């Protein structure tokens, strides 16, 4: 589908065609900018270069210099400026070249952007998105899963999708949302995961989890790349007669408590799998939620399968040890199933 300048043609939906996770994100931005002239994109190397991962390829060609803005390496300036633009009725999308760099703008996001609506009725409809996650040997500064810094911040919404369909539909929903939305794109999925997206315009609701696989013996809650790992583990568990229900959280803030509780009330057991490190990860929050609202339904402990509490190491042997994988998820689930 290459067009002039080697750019993909026009990014419109491909009519039920299989597209990559990355292409889904590109299409979402393209279509939102096509639909609404208040949508702009700002970030490092997003224009002429088309983004470090090419998620914004073809956008500058189509929408011009004023709507696709190559910025200095200044994350606070990018997000601060986007917030200022949003006060005029604009809906800027900010790209963090790697999501690791989002913490350079931590103050701007958590103190300025997130608190605006509560304090002085100033909603800031901006999207902050970027490639996250490990498994690609990016090392300690290009592999982060910093979602929980922001899940702990009232005023933000946090999305972390696992499929092309969700990535596109949720990113579109994020652009149309009247709140600041953080959108994490697991880079391991960018070119590895393909899926169908509809030809017509659609959105996926923010704050809704999805049941990816039905089961009755235990619930596995996950999101992003670990969603696929969990499904792989569930297939192996099924061969041993353990039917795991696998739920894709999709949005971490607000968390879809209803879907989580309904599943656990059915299976009575819960394993949370995430690539983020263990201490302070969302698994702990979910365990607390289950204790508060489903204690009587639990037949076993809420277990966590997560990365180690270390920085993301660089060497493949170390990183593999650091990350959860299908085998580790399988073992944890088997242990839980024994209760």
Partner 1 sequence: MTKQMPTELSRQQYLDLYYYMRLNRAVEDTMVKLFRQNKIVGGLYSSLGQEAISVGTCYALEKKDWIAPMIRNIGALLVKGVPPRDIFMQHMAKYDSPTKGRDGTSHFGDLENLHIVSPISMLGDLIPVMTGVAIGARYLGQKVVTMTWIGDGGSSTGVFHEGLNFAATQKAPFVLILENNLWAYSTPVRRQVPIENLADRAKAYGIDSYIVDGNNVVAVYNTAREAVERARAGEGPFLIEAKTFRRLGHAQHDPAEYVPKEMRVHWEARDPVALYEKFLTAEKLLDAAGKKEIDDKLDTLLAAEREFAENSPMPPAEFAQGGVYCAGDECHKIRAKWERPIAEVTPPRSSVKAVWTVPGFGSGKGSGGANAPIHFGDTKTVVENPANNGRPAKAGAKLATKNAPKKTKAATASISRKGRR
Residues 117, 137, 142, 186: which is the catalytic one?
A: 142
The verdict on 121 binding partner 1 (CB under 8 A) reads yes
Nearer to partner 1, 80 or 313 (CB): 80
The verdict on 88 binding partner 1 (CB under 8 A) reads yes
The verdict on 81 binding partner 1 (CB under 8 A) reads yes
220: closest CA among 281, 302, 154? Answer: 302
Contact 130, 169 (CB under 8 A): no
Nearer to partner 1, 57 or 166 (CB): 57
What letter does residue 39 receive in the DSSP assignment?
A: E
Helices (H), the chain: 21-35, 59-63, 75-86, 106-107, 116-120, 147-151, 164-176, 225-239, 257-267, 282-293, 316-322, 326-337
- Antiparallel, parallel or unpaired: β 39-43 and 68-70: parallel
The verdict on 62 binding partner 1 (CB under 8 A) reads yes
Residues with Cβ within 8 Å of 21's Cβ and at least 6 positions away in sequence, in order, are 163, 164, 167, 185, 186, 189, 190, 191, 192, 193, 194, 195
50: closest CA among 59, 41, 42? Answer: 59
Residue 62 CB, shortest distance to partner 1, in Å, is 5
Interface pick for partner 1 out of 20, 54, 117, 266 (rule CB under 8 A): 117
Query: Residues 15 to 44: which contact partner 1 by CB under 8 A?
Result: 34, 37-38, 40
Interface pick for partner 1 out of 89, 241, 296, 338 (rule CB under 8 A): 89
The verdict on 55 binding partner 1 (CB under 8 A) reads no
Distance separating alpha carbons of residues 245 and 83, to the nearest angstrom: 40
**Residue 274 annotated as catalytic:** no
Q: Which two tokens stand for residue 119?
A: 């304090």
The verdict on 155 binding partner 1 (CB under 8 A) reads yes
Query: Residues touching partner 1: how many (CB under 8 A)?
Result: 58
What are the residues binding partner 1 (CB under 8 A)? 5, 7, 34, 37-38, 40, 47-48, 50, 60-67, 69-72, 74-90, 92, 107-108, 111-112, 115-123, 125, 154-155, 157, 178-179
Which residues are annotated as catalytic?
Answer: 142
């Amino acid at each position: 589908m290459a067009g002039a300048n080697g750019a993909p043609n026009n990014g419109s939906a491909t009519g039920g065609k299989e597209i990559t996770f990355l292409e889904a994100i590109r299409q979402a931005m393209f279509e939102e900018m096509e639909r609404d002239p208040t949508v702009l994109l700002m970030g490092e190397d997003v224009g002429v270069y088309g983004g470090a991962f090419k998620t914004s390829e073809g956008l500058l060609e189509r929408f011009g210099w004023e709507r696709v803005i190559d910025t200095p390496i200044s994350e606070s300036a990018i997000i601060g400026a986007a917030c200022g633009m949003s006060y005029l009725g604009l809906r800027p999308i900010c790209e963090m070249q790697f999501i690791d760099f989002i913490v350079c703008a931590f103050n701007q996001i958590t103190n300025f952007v997130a608190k605006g609506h509560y304090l002085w009725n100033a909603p800031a409809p901006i999207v902050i998105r970027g490639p996250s996650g490990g498994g690609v040997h990016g090392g300690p500064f290009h592999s982060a899963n910093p979602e929980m810094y922001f899940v702990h911040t009232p005023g933000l919404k946090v999305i972390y999708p696992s499929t092309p369909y969700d990535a596109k539909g949720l990113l579109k929903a994020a652009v149309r949302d009247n709140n600041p939305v953080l959108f994490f794109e697991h880079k391991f999925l960018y070119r590895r995961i393909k899926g169908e997206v509809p030809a017509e315009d659609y959105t996926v609701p923010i704050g809704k989890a999805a049941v990816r696989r039905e089961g009755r013996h235990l619930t596995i809650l996950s999101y992003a790349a670990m969603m696929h790992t969990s499904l792989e583990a569930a297939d192996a568990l099924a061969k041993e007669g353990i039917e795991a229900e696998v739920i894709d959280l999709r949005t971490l803030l607000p968390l879809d408590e209803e879907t989580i509780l309904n599943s656990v009330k059915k299976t009575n057991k819960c394993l949370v799998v995430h690539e983020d490190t263990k201490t302070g990860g969302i698994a702990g929050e979910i365990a607390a939620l289950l204790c508060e609202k489903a204690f009587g339904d639990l037949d076993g402990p809420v277990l966590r399968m997560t990365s180690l509490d270390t920085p993301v190491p660089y060497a493949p042997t170390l990183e593999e040890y650091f990350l959860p994988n299908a085998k580790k998820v399988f073992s944890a689930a088997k242990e839980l199933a024994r209760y």
